[in-house]
Amino acid sequence: MKEEIRKFINTPLAIGNRVINGRLIQAPMAGLTHVAYRELLDGYGGASLMFTEMCSARAVPHENRYVSPVFRWRDEELSQLVCQIFGSDPAAMTEAARRVAAEGFFGVDLNFGCSVAAICKKNCGAALLKTPDLAVKIVTDIRKAITIPLTVKFRTGWEDRPEPAVELARRFEAAGADALIFHPRMAPDRRSRPPKWAYIGKVKQAVSIPVFGNGEVFTEADCEKMIETTGCDGVSLGRIAVAKPWIFSQWRTGRVQEMMMLKNNMLQMMVLMQKHYEPTPAIRKFKKMALYNAALFQFGHNFFKNIFRANDFFEIAAVVDAFFDQSPALSSRPNLNLFH
């Protein structure tokens, strides 16, 4: 990492009425950025902001944090944790945001980017980009209801041109958003084509609130390039942060012994899954995360196949041990067939 970029990613940033200690934040990911993952991440030094999985705005006001699989946290992470909510009804979204604020989270993030059919069908996530007035009303209403930071995560939209997103960014800022996290892909694209980082630069130029770029930042060179070419205020790391939760501290400090980390990370994740979840979901959730770990290796397919076939954590631990005993070779970039 170039020295000036390392300095930049270690520079504090104000978001609304709060300050974060650096520029690398963790992206919200359903099924992955749960309480167990975030405890693991914390153990490696954390990220400047962490995000929950997306939580249904209708459910949030009534959730029991000790029972819900997604609206769950450790008290010690709250001051750096943003709760992401999804929904389409401004009143329900506002009520959810009130609960999030009352619980003491760092902030609320609005999911205007998810393009999964089940979510879009309910007019939530990226579907809201088709009804900009409604999306802006949600931001306006929530802004009136809470004082903690309010962020919006959104994507290019439904056409492959930057203008609608740029216009929306301006409107979100005017409606009271404190920061934007922008993923420059069209909604129907999901993750099939590379994101167009140039659009991040256009969004950044249109507003004066912080803009975080997101999308396929996997290496230090990617991170430098995104910052240098777009002028973004920070970078949101998704899948690579599941595969390498130490990536935030590695890039910030320039230190880490990667192979030892890779193995310890998987073993530690097994321990935390068993701490936070019942055996069946713990194994299912672990296998889902192992896909991202396996994607970093040249023979990651076989490694994942063996994990997938294992019946319990004893068998999984044996597979992990055997794999790392062979001094496995890393790929230069993650295998995108596994890194869904």
**Which residues are catalytically annotated?**
114
Distance CA 148, CA 161 (A): 32
- Name the minimum Å distance from CB 326 to ligand FMN: 28
One residue of 183, 196, 202, 276 binding ligand FMN per CB under 6 A:
183
Least Cβ distance, residue 124 to ligand FMN (angstroms): 11
Task: Give 160-166 contacts, CB < 8 A, sequence gap 24+.
Answer: 160/186, 160/196, 162/196, 162/198, 162/199, 162/202, 162/203, 164/129, 164/132, 165/129, 165/199, 165/202, 165/203, 166/202, 166/203, 166/206
Burial of 144 (0-12, 13-18, 19+ CB in 10 A): exposed
Distance of alpha carbon 289 from alpha carbon 285, whole angstroms: 6
Locate 263 and state its tokens.
Answer: 């193995």
Footprint of ligand FMN on residues 50-79 (CB under 6 A)? 53-54
Encoded one letter per residue, x for contact with ligand FMN by CB under 6 A and - for no contact, window 238-277 reads: xxx-------------------------------------
Least distance (Å) between residue 314 CB and ligand FMN: 27
190 SS3 class: coil
Q: Is 216 in the site for ligand FMN (CB under 6 A)?
A: yes
CB 241 within 8 A of CB 247: yes
Tell the smallest beta-carbon distance from residue 236 to ligand FMN (Å): 7
Contacts of 257 (CB under 8 A, 6+ apart): none
Site string for ligand FMN, 145-164 (x = CB under 6 A): --------x-----------
Instruction: Please say which residue, 27 or 290, places its beta carbon nearer to ligand FMN.
Output: 27
Give the bridge partners for 54, in sequence order: 84
Asked if 111 is part of the footprint of ligand FMN (rule: CB under 6 A), the reply reads yes
List, as one string, the DSSP characters of 233-264.
SEEEE-HHHHH-TTHHHHHHHS---HHHHHHH
Residue 286 interacts with ligand FMN (CB under 6 A): yes or no: no
Q: Report if residue 114 touches ligand FMN, rule: CB under 6 A.
A: yes
Q: Measured from the CB atom, is 24 or 27 closer to ligand FMN?
A: 27
Size of the site for ligand FMN (CB under 6 A): 22
Residue 51 or 324 having the CB closest to ligand FMN? 51
- Site residues for ligand FMN, 118-147, by CB under 6 A, read none
Among the residue ranges 164-172, 231-239, 267-275, 300-308, the one whose residues contact ligand FMN (CB under 6 A) = 231-239
Query: What is the distance between the alpha carbons of residues 260 and 265, in angstroms, rounded to a whole number?
Result: 8
Residues 8-37 that bind ligand FMN (CB under 6 A): 27-32
Q: Does residue 49 belong to the site contacting ligand FMN (CB under 6 A)?
A: no
Judge contact between 76 and 36, C-beta under 8 A.
no
Three-state secondary structure call for residue 310: coil
**Stretch of 9-17, 42-50, 211-219, 257-265 lying at the interface with ligand FMN (CB under 6 A):** 211-219
Q: Which residues within the stretch 81-100 sit at the binding site for ligand FMN (CB under 6 A)? A: 84
Among 152, 213, 208, 177, which residue's Cα sits nearest to residue 25? Answer: 213
Of 4, 1, 15, nearest in space to 181 by CA = 15
Asked if 80 touches ligand FMN (CB under 6 A), the answer is no
Q: Bridge partners of 149?
A: none
Instruction: Report in angstroms how near the CB of residue 113 gets to ligand FMN at its nearest.
Output: 5
Does the protein bind ligand FMN through residue 200 (CB under 6 A)?
A: no
CB atoms inside a 10 Å sphere around CB 109: 27
Residue with nearest beta carbon to ligand FMN: 238
Give residues in contact with ligand FMN (CB under 6 A).
27-32, 53-54, 84, 111, 113-114, 153, 183, 214-217, 237-240
